[in-house]
Amino acid sequence: MVKIIMGLKGSGKTKQLIELVHKALNEENGDVVCIEKDPTLRYDIPSKARHVYTSTYGGGKGFDFLKGFLSGIHAGNYDITHIFIDGLYKLIDGTNSAGVDEFFEWLAKFSEEQEVNFTVTVSADTALATETMKKYLI
């Protein structure tokens, strides 16, 4: 399952993400991973969740980098049940939605095939959501 939390800066996306991480840690029977560009949530999310920072690994190279990054994380741990991605456009170093539909279609397929849930925050007005993104908005 793929879920998108979308809204402008200051709309409460990160707070909602933090609540969902806590919920996943309490209710799911697998490992939980939180991916962000830099360690801004390290004090808000329990250490029981695996924190991963893309800046450590040369992140910001677009959707292809992110797909490979997610695939590698899963390949290293098949017990992951949920991956939270905070700030999609920060991770790819851009606000251009070019490629975003293809990415979310890939993510949905990956989620189904590998039985991993994804929750992604996107800092943008919900009016700018593409038809593909609208399928996953919460």
Residues 40-57 pLDDT 10s: 898 999 999 999 999 888
Comparing C-alpha atoms, which of 35, 20, 44, 33 is closest to residue 81?
33
pLDDT value at 76 more than 90: yes
Mean pLDDT of all residues in the chain?
93
Domains and CATH numbers, the chain: 2-134 (3.40.50.300)
Q: Is the pLDDT of residue 96 over 70?
A: no
Give percent of the chain above pLDDT 90.
82
Contact 80, 73 (CB under 8 A): yes
pLDDT at 98 over 80: no
Sheet holding 117-123, edge to edge: 2-7, 117-123, 80-85, 31-36, 50-53
Could you give the CA distance from residue 104 to residue 125 in angstroms, rounded to a whole number?
17
CA nearest neighbour of 107 among 92, 124, 95, 94? 92
pLDDT score of 23: 97
Task: Answer yes or no: is pLDDT of 93 > 90.
Answer: no
Convert the pLDDT of each residue in 12-41 to its tens digit: 999 999 999 999 999 999 999 999 999 989
Q: Bridge partners of 35? A: 52, 85
Q: Structure tokens of 79?
A: 């017990």
